[in-house]
């Protein structure tokens, strides 16, 4: 079946996903918290006043690039194909930052943690941001931006 | 100190998972969202993989009085499905599609491809500040 999708990395995706799930499980069972990256980033930078203790948020946010760096070193480099201009990164960043605060979460908090808890709020949030992503990329493709 | 180390290790494992799964690559994420182009299902495997340990973790969580490295559980009790949740998710999804990045991969990429990642993370924090000052 996957021969139809030559770009897919199902095994790497599954293994990496298991690592993400174990990390989120460690936050839940170890510290009693949701591994929501947007919330932890807001807390680490002081943009949010409530949420995880500052030290926990800062440690998690520092750990993210460290873990990526270790995998990059172990595998001889991670492919990151960024948009050729910074404009989509800036527009995307602004929307993601504002949207995740307004909607109380992102792919990790609502997607991984909330959906696995069968939280209706998170299931709906995930369905909406997925649909919004599909529509956005379809419009970008139609407009010749992709 | 124990809490800090658990959080640091969890963050590193999370970042390692993002990098290993290909999710640190904005073009791959856009490929998943690109239903009418060269669709790439990898992100679905990542989500599926992450669900397995987390589903077990929620079952274990219900049997515990407290987490093993902290005093008590601090879990969101909100069940509200309102305009904020809906509009927030629409805006987040649009930004995710435009840049190919969400907060986790954006932060992870600071160590792999710092310059473009910094543009995204800077804008991400600016967007969060705009929300804070306007609400």
Instruction: State residue A3's pLDDT score.
Output: 66
CB contact under 8 A, A91 and B98: yes
Res. A6: pLDDT tops 90: no
- Nearest alpha carbon to residue B87 among A95, A118, A94: A95
Give the separation between CA B12 and CA B34, rounded to whole angstroms.
Answer: 29
pLDDT tens digits, one per residue of B23-53: 999 999 999 999 999 899 999 999 999 999 9
pLDDT tens digits, one per residue of B94-107: 999 999 999 999 99
CB contact under 8 A, A12 and B22: yes
Rounded to the nearest integer, the mean pLDDT of chain A is 96
Average confidence (pLDDT) over A11-24: 98
Res. A84: pLDDT tops 60: yes
Report residue B86's pLDDT band, with 50, 70 and 90 as the boundaries.
very high
A4, A11, A31, best to mutate vs chain B, most B CBs in 10 Å: A31
Report residue A2's pLDDT band, with 50, 70 and 90 as the boundaries.
low
pLDDT tens digits, one per residue of A111-124: 999 999 999 999 99
Instruction: State residue A146's pLDDT score.
Output: 85
If 0-12 CB within 10 Å is exposed, 13-18 middle and 19+ buried, where does residue A139 land?
middle
Is 0.80 surpassed by the pTM of this model?
yes
Instruction: State residue A119's pLDDT score.
Output: 97
C-alpha distance from A91 to closest chain B C-alpha (Å): 7
CB contact under 8 A, A24 and B50: yes
DSSP calls for chain A: -GGG-TT--HHHHHHHHHHHHHHHHHHHHHHS----HHHHHHHHTTS-SSSS-HHHHHHHHHHHHHHHHHHHHHHT-------SSSHHHHHHHHHHHHHHHHTT--IIIIIIIIHHTT-HHHHHHHHHHHHHHHHHHHHHHHTT--
Rounded to the nearest integer, the mean pLDDT of chain B is 97
B55, B68, B79, B103, best to mutate vs chain A, most A CBs in 10 Å: B103
Res. A1: pLDDT tops 60: no
pLDDT tens digits, one per residue of B49-77: 999 999 999 999 999 999 999 999 999 98
- Nearest alpha carbon to residue B25 among B109, B104, B88: B109
What percentage of chain A carries pLDDT values higher than 70? Answer: 98
Average confidence (pLDDT) over A41-51: 97
Res. A5: pLDDT tops 90: no
Among A41, A83, A129, the residue with its CB nearest the CB of B107 is A41
- Per CB-CB distance under 8 Å, the chain A contacts of B4 are 55-56, 59
A46, A72, A98, A140, best to mutate vs chain B, most B CBs in 10 Å: A98
What percentage of chain A carries pLDDT values higher than 90? Answer: 94
A vs B, Cβ pairs < 8 A, gives 498
Would you call B124 helix, strand, or coil by DSSP?
helix
């Amino acid at each position: 079946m996957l021969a139809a999708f030559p770009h897919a990395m199902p095994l790497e995706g599954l293994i990496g996903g298991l690592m993400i799930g174990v990390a989120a499980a460690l936050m839940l069972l170890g510290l009693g918290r949701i591994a929501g990256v947007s919330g932890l980033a807001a807390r680490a930078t002081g943009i949010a006043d409530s949420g995880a203790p500052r030290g926990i948020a800062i440690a998690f946010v520092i750990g993210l690039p460290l873990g990526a760096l270790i995998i990059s070193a172990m595998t001889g480099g991670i492919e990151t194909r960024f948009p050729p201009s910074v404009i989509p990164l800036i527009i995307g960043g602004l929307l993601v930052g504002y949207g995740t605060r307004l909607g109380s979460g992102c792919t990790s908090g609502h997607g991984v943690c909330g959906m696995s808890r069968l939280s209706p709020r998170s299931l709906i949030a995930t369905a909406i941001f997925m649909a919004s992503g599909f529509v956005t990329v379809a419009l970008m493709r139609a407009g010749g931006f992709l | 100190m124990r809490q800090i180390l658990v959080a640091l290790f969890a963050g590193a494992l999370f970042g390692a998972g993002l990098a290993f799964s290909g999710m640190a690559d904005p073009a791959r994420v856009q490929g998943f969202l690109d239903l009418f182009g060269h669709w790439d299902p990898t992100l679905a495997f990542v989500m599926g993989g992450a669900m397995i340990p987390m589903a077990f973790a929620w079952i274990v969580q219900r049997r515990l009085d407290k987490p093993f490295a902290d005093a008590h559980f601090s879990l969101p009790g909100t069940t509200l499905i309102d305009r904020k949740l809906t509009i927030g998710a629409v805006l987040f999804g649009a930004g995710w599609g435009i840049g190919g990045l969400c907060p986790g991969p954006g932060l992870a990429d600071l160590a792999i491809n710092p310059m473009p990642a910094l543009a995204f993370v800077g804008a991400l924090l600016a967007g969060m500040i705009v929300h804070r000052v306007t609400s």
